[in-house]
Amino acid sequence: MATRNESTDRPCGIDFGGTGIKAAAVDLEAGDFAADRVRTRTPDPSTPEAVAEVFVELLGQLPQSHGPVGVTVPGVVRQGVVHSAANIHKSWIGTDADALFTSATGRDVHVMNDADAAGLAEVRYGAARGRRGLVIVTTLGTGIGSALVHDGVLVPNSELGHLQIDGRAAETRAANSVRESENLSWEHWAGRLTTYYRTLEELFSPELFVVGGGVSKKADEFLPLIDIETEIVPAALLNKAGIVGAALYAAESAR
């Protein structure tokens, strides 16, 4: 872990998704943005080189941030190398994103899975703060992202949105994008989520589920309808979780 000093106190988090790229300087004491977030559209095609150019621009708009930069991507990331690309350009697969972004920006960049970043932030600052044992954070969005955190330690790349249930990847039945495209009622969707979370319960016996993603703002509509044994709560950091978690990860992995 890096020692606290000025250069790690204002790291930056960048949330790279299929439609937008958002960045903010992060105050690690508060677990919050240190100043307003900046955002831009994801370039099309969203190749690694095009995205690196956008990062340079965005970092130029964040004078409050210095030191390490954490980046979230919607895919598997091992040791800085991207191994899957659900909603982004396929050329990401096999790219050493840590090396590419570090050389493009001149900053110390650390890339991680988007749901892992959100999970880390929820455990450190949000809905699962101080919780021991296994916490599973799921993000319900275009796909389903997941983070497994045990006693505060992240086990990365769990990819539980791809769990096969009745012969189909869970996210193709229960992601929020499916609720929208199939125009499902809250009750109907909660039925699908019940099947999903019961499967996770059976396999992992967690202490707590945290539900994130944009739709967690409407948790009152569907969380009470999910019929499981385990405690399940909405995320607290909402759309800040990815950026805050990535900045924290970068500060703690700083070279």
C-alpha 121/C-alpha 1 separation (Å) is 16
Closest CB to ligand BGC among 10 and 189? 189
Residue 119 interacts with ligand BGC (CB under 6 A): yes or no: no
Enumerate the β-bridge partners of residue 69. Answer: 12, 109
Residue 200 interacts with ligand BGC (CB under 6 A): yes or no: no
Enumerate the β-bridge partners of residue 30. Answer: none
C-alpha 175/C-alpha 171 separation (Å) is 5
Cβ distance 163 to 136 under 8 Å? no
Number of residues that bind ligand BGC (CB under 6 A): 15
Residue 70 interacts with ligand BGC (CB under 6 A): yes or no: no
Q: How far is the CB of 20 from ligand BGC (least distance, A)?
A: 13
Residue 206 interacts with ligand BGC (CB under 6 A): yes or no: no
Q: How far is the CB of 17 from ligand BGC (least distance, A)?
A: 7
Q: How far is the CB of 93 from ligand BGC (least distance, A)?
A: 12
Closest CB to ligand BGC among 76 and 211? 76
Residue 15 interacts with ligand BGC (CB under 6 A): yes or no: no
Q: List Cα–Cα distances, 214 to 175, 242, 249, in angstroms.
A: 11, 12, 22
Residue 239 interacts with ligand BGC (CB under 6 A): yes or no: no
Which one-letter DSSP state was computed for residue 32?
E
Specify the length of the chain in residues.
255
